[in-house]
Structure 1
């Protein structure tokens, strides 16, 4: 199955943690429903909404192409939910092939300092 952001998927809850629920959406792929995506509004206890082995329909919010992690939402399936943008975007949280450290920050530091001083003078 080719997963895309905005796609509605059917799955089974395989585990619950205080921060969210893991859902098997294909035989070899799981997604996470964060506690904030279980229901519209504040959710004190995820167990009030989900149980292990419960079947759910969820919407794919995000796919991290580097790690393969899939973020899911139950809120998006509610009738008053705003639709998810269906354009696919790449998210790279880390990259094990690059060893840049603080180099990008060091390269931009002087420009940021000058910009901040200009902004102070203009106030």
Structure 2
């Protein structure tokens, strides 16, 4: 008689086969489950052989059981601590003007304020 498994069970099984899409795990003499490649670890897995070998005993968690087909989906990743999330970018809470004021050492003058100075420097006078 085959053992009854439930979603959430944590088990130790033996790796019986490796395919490009995942790892087959024998849970007992009559029951086998599959760890999909995306459930091996966090991040991208290029080569499953870098993580497990046929004959290894590994801990897995039952993540899904298809009652119609009897297929058992397993996860190694679910038993690992998730890596810390990295911030992709820093978004300032300050307005653009506040950031300009902070970084401007010599003072910011608008174009209108500088225009008279530039006209004078160019030698052009009104009415000429």
TM-score normalised to structure 1 length:
0.63
1:71: which partner in 2? 73
The equivalent of 2:12 in structure 1 is 10
Quote how far apart the aligned CAs of 1:79 are: 2.7
Q: In terms of Rg, which structure is larger?
A: 2
CA distance in 1, matches of 2:4, 2:12: 14
- Would you say how many aligned residue pairs link Structure 1 and Structure 2? 81
Matched residue, 1:42: 44
- 2:42·2:82 contact (CA, 8 Å) conserved in 1? no
Which whole-Å CA distance do the structure 2 matches of 1:26 and 1:12 have between them? 9
TM-aligned CA deviation for residue 80 of structure 1: 3.2
Structure with more contact order per residue of length (Cα contacts < 8 Å, sep ≥ 6): 1
Give matches, 1:28-107, under 5 Å.
28-80=30-82
- Are 2:58 and 1:20 aligned? no
Q: Which runs of 5+ in 2 are unaligned?
A: 84-128
Q: Contact (CA 8 Å) 2:8, 2:62: kept in 1 or not?
A: yes
RMSD (Å) for aligned C-alpha atoms? 1.2
